[in-house]
Amino acid sequence: MSKYKILMAAVIACIIAAYSIAFCEQELTHEWTNLNGPYWVSGADVACGTHNYDNTVPWYRYLIGGNGNDIRPFYWDHTFEKWNGWNDYDPLPGANKIISYNSDHHGDFAFCTAYGGDAYKTVNGGESWTSLGFGDYFSNNHFNTVEVKFTTANPERTAFVGTAHNGNVPTAYIYHYSGGNPTWDRLGGPSNGGNPDPMFGKDVYDIECNHDGRLFAGTSDGIYYHTGESNYHDNWTQQAFEDHEVLAIEDVNCREIGDQQLAEVTYSATPPVSHKLWYSPEGDHFRSPIEITPDNSSFDHEVYDLAAIRCNEDLNNTQYISCYAATSDGLYLIHFKYNESGLSALEKYDIKEIQTVDGFYPMQYDQQITGVDYTWETSANIITVTALCTTPYSVYQITEVRSLETDQLIGDLEVTECVDGTYKSNVVGLSLVGDQLESMQLFTVTDNGLIKGENLTKYWSTVGKAFEDGQTDQIGTDIATKQIGEDLYILASSKDEHGSGTIMYTEDGGLNWEKATFENDVTPVINAVDFDLTTFEGYYAYAAGFDTKAWYSSDNGGSWLESDGFENTSLNDVFSDPLPSREGYAYLAGSLGAEVGIRVAMTENYGVDWTPIEEDLGGTAVNQLAKCAGGGNAGQDQRQGLYAATNYGVYKANLCKPPDDPEDPNGPYDPGDITWNHKTYGIGTPNLGSIIVDPNNSFGVLAATAPSEEEPHIWASGDSGRSWIGLPLGDIPSDCHINKLAACRNGKGYVVGTDKGVFYIKEIFQCGQSFTDYTWGPGTIIINGDAFTEVPNNPLTIIGPCTVYFTYGLNLTHSGSPDANKPMLYATNSPIDVEGTAEDPVVFTSCRPTDKTAGDWEGLGKVGSTNADISLNHCNIEYAANGINITTGSTSEIDIGNSSISNCSDYGVYIGAHATLSVNHCHFEKMNSAGIYMSTYPTSATISNSRIEDCGNYGIYCSGGEFTASTDTLFDNKYGILYEGDDGPTISYCRIFAPSSSVTSYYGIYVRGGIYGSNVQILGDYIAGFGQGGIYLENVTSHGLVSYTSVYEGSMYSSIYGIYCNNSSVSILGDPDADEKKNVIQGNDYGIWLASTSDPKIRRTKFIDNIYKGIHIAQGCSPDLGSFNDHGNNSFILNNPGQNTYHVYNANNNFSINALYNYWNPLSSWLFHNVTYNPYLSNDPLPRIAPPSWQTANLPEDLFLARAYPNPFNPTTMISFNLISSQEVSVRIYNIMGQRIRDLYYGYEEAGVISLVWDGKDMNGRPV
């Protein structure tokens, strides 16, 4: 709804502008957003009703309107401020008149008629309508009017209709109740064999009922009078204006009991036809009417409808009346006063002369008023009259505020265009103009030729028409705009079905329109128009016609000359080169017919003549052209790309030579040397109707399907058409047809015109330091050059669902080596805050449509000396070189939660600065170097509840500092966790598994302390399968601890070491109070190997079937394995000891190692070397092997896993699980050592029970 006033104070304009900015920032996103129009409706009638008894609805509004095909009643939804159509799937053909109650709280009751159909009523404000069954009683259903009876009880029980005469039948009828049942009766005589009714056979145009139930009918034979419902069989009486047509009659609402009338009378006995407006004072009943003569002359306008109210009555019985007249040339308000001296103080307001806030006249282009009605309210000595009128294009509300004391108009008349919610316009052309988002204006032309504009606040204004008043059957075809200083130039074209066309032009933004002239006074069909944007003065313009004609103008589109130099059967588009250095260049697009003509031509002299450029151009139709506004960036080879949307996909031609051309670097090609290349990667060969290039990003291109395509699609390319990404449709209906794309001149977004309105998307191409939009998403972003958050204290916020694509091998801000051509998103002076959800994540990925490759783009990072945090929640990063790369910012905080990083060529997370890192509930997979790599010790780093698999050399590498890994799962990494430094890292409740393939692996946990030694805490971890060993400890002090941790051999190869200690006096202790919290070292070559003065204390640790030695003690080492006062309580078990197998082997030949009060099975002296093992325990202090107490990381809370059935099984088993919510599912099979042997399923599943069958084989087809 757009508000307009005759005069508008500057402060109000400022308020509206501020509101517009806030609205844009809140509503417009990087996905296609409905701009709420433009709407239109071919209105037939309107009605207003007062509020209901509980005052929940301020007043009711009703509308009958159509879109050229469908017609139906609408009712106004006050909550959402839009029209709701009744029964959207089943129109009401012929609906033409509607009436409600404007008094006594009955506005929720209304009646309507459908010409040639039936009459209907609603009792709920228009939400539903009931047929009244007129055809069951009478056949003359050619309804012209419907009226209700003024009543305070049972308002739905009575209605009157008037019809056109249809042979020898009555033309007035009454709907009422008889004997408690609804029925229809003839309204009028004869009754009881009396004289024939004088109104019999007359056309009834309008019926009015006054407050005491008397009826007045405007007919083809003047005004007739009837006493009302109680005597419905009485004859009508001819009252006034015999032999003259009375098209409209109105009973003046006096806001209390009264009896005054108005009528329009048509005089046609003597040409020319004239019209007069008459007033009948109270009780006169047109016996002595008084002509209303504003400006001291007859009101000579053809009136279709009247609405009048007595605004006030003073102590001298002076009546103050406002009358709204709906005419063929506009809506008029006539205000006058009446007393016994007669009519006086007549004021006439021509509503089409009311200027809008933006300087437009909303009804100047929409003058045929088909219906008008009103309601009113009073408060604080003020009366507010609200009138509603409808036209062939729109619905308008007029607000009139007057003083009850002086009758003076308070403020200005206010006009509101209120058509929201009716029928979406078929937008065939659109153009954006303006430098800033808050001042941007969008102009559209529709197939009915109506021109509307708005400023991206979803509030539309009627600006003009693409043809002159009086022209009919015109179809809008295109619109173009150009801003020069304060002047706004607009061209709008239209055509008719007879082969003629029109161009309307304006130089003042639509305040004044003129019809353009053509050479030899022809009126050609024009399909497309454009301004030459390179000429600052705005002199030149271009037009593409249908019948082999192109035209050019040198005076802003006022006059046109025919171009020379080509033949064609249909020209579809004309496009001016936007590059300032190519002034006078333009391009034509056409369609082949009968294998003659051209498809693309170029002019170098403002359109005087044209030269074909179509070598290697495929397809038979070029529907639209687009070109970048500038050359390459930072050495990139853009070469002035010209794009063509054809019926066989996208073609691109380079208009300039490459920069390495030996003779003319970057020089223009001769037209005959220009060739076209087919751009199909990711888009294929669809029938395209529209294509645009981002004015601020010369590599950013959008293309859309042609209007003839049943399903709409829009693609985007960030690399000048090399690859394409399908954009989600957002608000765009899946059954609409796309007519045209347009880009904001400042690159602030794009619009698409469809047969269901206009949709907007914010700029999706980002590059460099210049972007000012610091909220991305929901929607799509394409980054084709390094992007930096440059504004201090202004975080870049990315909201899910959002996919951020990065171009591969293309970086507009760098040039040189291939690695430099990988774009990256940097936090420089302000943070990056990613706010996805489980249902709507944010995804960072390569823009390759297929076969994405690790290292396609660089990643997210931090550069610069300032500290800028990065926070990621529910985010997926894939196919980067480094998912996150932090090289600067010593106090920056990196917080990653509920996210995944995968398929990176180097690292998932790389920390090269003393930053703070927090990773929780994340998934890292398929990195070449490491999942998380901290080359510079962090201020602190916490990795928890996360899964890191198949990440090359390291699951996690940390070079010191405060570090915690908790409840993590690490698979298929050569090193699970490697820590180097003197601090006390904590690694607890982690599952760490070696690669299941033959890839060489090293250690599950590797800790190397510095000069002062490390105090590492290894608690509750489960480690299996590493070729070198489970745990490596070097320079670890006695404060270091390994507790309730299990180290197992692999299924393919045994580990050499369970735990290898080098110069480490770590404590290897189980929990004395909990059997399940013991250490377990099983199946390795050596359970524990002690070297270089390692003196650990080992308690409550279970050694099982370590092949050579449970513990190997090298020279210089003296571990504490148990004493008389501190029992060892360790358990050593060898089920099949070999010849060179030892429970404990001490290589110190000069002294024996005490290992007292431990359990040995078997107990044999040859299983010991230089070890005192007696006294010993005869019972195993650690009698059972309980499952390790690690916790499952990153499992959804709403997952229930059933038992496999059957189990045991041969050859197959069923694995079933229940999902409470829909989500991605990965099912993998692991052996008892935790090694992955089969990927059974990966995909998206709906909520419910899921069942999968496993054949018992591994990924190589071998039974397990």
Per-residue model confidence as pLDDT tens digits over 1023-1045: 998 989 999 999 999 999 999 99
Residue 747 has pLDDT above 70, yes or no: no
**622-631, 881-890, 1185-1194: the lowest-pLDDT one:** 1185-1194
Give the pLDDT score at 1052.
54
Which tokens is 584 given?
Answer: 């006078």
Strand runs (DSSP E) across 1092-1209, as ranges? 1097-1099, 1101-1104, 1109-1113, 1131-1133, 1142-1146, 1153-1154, 1159-1161, 1168-1169, 1171-1172, 1199-1201
Contact 767, 812 (CB under 8 A): yes
Residue 324 has pLDDT above 80, yes or no: yes
Distance (Å, whole) CA 38 – CA 425: 6
Residue 53 has pLDDT above 60, yes or no: no
Strand runs (DSSP E) across 577-640, as ranges? 586-591, 600-603, 611-612, 622-627
Give the pLDDT score at 11.
25
Which tokens is 693 given?
Answer: 């290039």
Residue 1077 has pLDDT above 50, yes or no: yes
Q: Count the Cβ atoms, other than its own, within 10 Å of residue 1032.
A: 24
Tell me the average pLDDT across 337-351.
Answer: 88
**81-90, 1053-1062, 1071-1080: the lowest-pLDDT one:** 1071-1080
772 dihedral zone (left: phi>0; alpha: psi -120 to 50; beta): alpha
**67-76, 398-407, 499-508, 1214-1223: the lowest-pLDDT one:** 1214-1223
Lookup result for tokens 């308008």? 396
Give the pLDDT score at 425.
92
Contact 46, 371 (CB under 8 A): yes
Per-residue pLDDT tens for 391-408?
989 999 999 999 988 889
**What is the rounded average pLDDT for all residues in the chain?**
86
Q: 225: pLDDT confidence band, cut at 50, 70 and 90?
A: very high
Residue 595 has pLDDT above 70, yes or no: no
**296-310, 806-820, 863-877, 894-908: the lowest-pLDDT one:** 806-820
Per-residue pLDDT tens for 133-149?
999 999 999 999 999 98
Percent above pLDDT 70 for the chain: 87
Q: Count the Cβ atoms, other than its own, within 10 Å of residue 735.
A: 10
Residue 72 has pLDDT above 70, yes or no: yes
Any bridge partners for residue 508, and if so which?
488
Per-residue pLDDT tens for 503-522?
999 998 888 899 999 998 98
**224-233, 1013-1022, 1052-1061: the lowest-pLDDT one:** 1052-1061
Give the pLDDT score at 1245.
72
Lookup result for tokens 């191409």? 765
**20-29, 386-395, 568-577: the lowest-pLDDT one:** 20-29
Per-residue pLDDT tens for 82-104?
999 887 667 899 999 999 987 66
Q: 1156: pLDDT confidence band, cut at 50, 70 and 90?
A: very high
List b or e across 862-873, with b for residues whose CB sees 16 or more CB atoms inside 10 angstroms: bbbeebbbbbbb
Residue 17 has pLDDT above 60, yes or no: no
Contact 644, 669 (CB under 8 A): no
Q: 581: pLDDT confidence band, cut at 50, 70 and 90?
A: confident
Q: Count the Cβ atoms, other than its own, within 10 Å of residue 25.
A: 12
Residue 535 has pLDDT above 80, yes or no: no
Give the pLDDT score at 817.
56
Tell me the average pLDDT across 5-17.
Answer: 28
Give the pLDDT score at 1207.
55
Select the highest-mean-pLDDT range: 313-317, 772-776, 985-989, 1257-1261.
Answer: 985-989
Distance (Å, whole) CA 627 – CA 623: 14
Residue 477 has pLDDT above 80, yes or no: yes
Tell me the pTM: 0.85
Give the pLDDT score at 925.
95
Report the chain's C-alpha Rg in angstroms: 42
DSSP secondary structure, 483-545, as one string:
EETTEEEEEEEEE-TTS-EEEEEESBTTSS-EE-EEGGG----EEEEEE-TT-TT---EEEEE
Give the pLDDT score at 12.
24
Q: 760: pLDDT confidence band, cut at 50, 70 and 90?
A: very high
Give the pLDDT score at 640.
82
Q: Give the three-state DSSP class for 17.
A: helix
Query: What residues contact 670, with CB distance under 8 A and at least 6 apart?
Result: none
Any bridge partners for residue 644, and if so which?
625, 651
Give the pLDDT score at 1195.
45
Give the pLDDT score at 242.
93
Distance (Å, whole) CA 714 – CA 690: 9
Contact 744, 578 (CB under 8 A): no
Tell me the average pLDDT across 1208-1226.
Answer: 69
For residue 744, CA distances in Å to 11, 200, 701, 909, 1186 come to 28, 63, 13, 38, 67
Residue 593 has pLDDT above 70, yes or no: no
Contact 543, 531 (CB under 8 A): no
**741-745, 775-779, 964-968, 1226-1230: the lowest-pLDDT one:** 1226-1230
**6-10, 154-158, 291-295: the lowest-pLDDT one:** 6-10
Select the highest-mean-pLDDT range: 576-590, 597-611, 719-733, 1044-1058.
Answer: 719-733
Amino acid identity of residue 642, one-letter, is: L
Distance (Å, whole) CA 225 – CA 204: 12
Q: 9: pLDDT confidence band, cut at 50, 70 and 90?
A: very low
Residue 411 has pLDDT above 90, yes or no: no
Give the pLDDT score at 212.
84
Give the pLDDT score at 987.
97
Torsion sign across C-alpha atoms 662, 665, 668, 673: positive
Give the pLDDT score at 252.
87
Residues constituting the chain: 1264
**466-475, 494-503, 978-987: the lowest-pLDDT one:** 466-475
Per-residue pLDDT tens for 186-220?
999 876 567 888 998 899 999 999 888 899 999 99
Using a 10 angstrom Cβ sphere, with 0-12 exposed, 13-18 middle and 19 or more buried, the burial of residue 116 is exposed
**323-337, 750-764, 836-850, 1200-1214: the lowest-pLDDT one:** 1200-1214
Distance (Å, whole) CA 998 – CA 1065: 33
Any bridge partners for residue 371, and if so which?
390
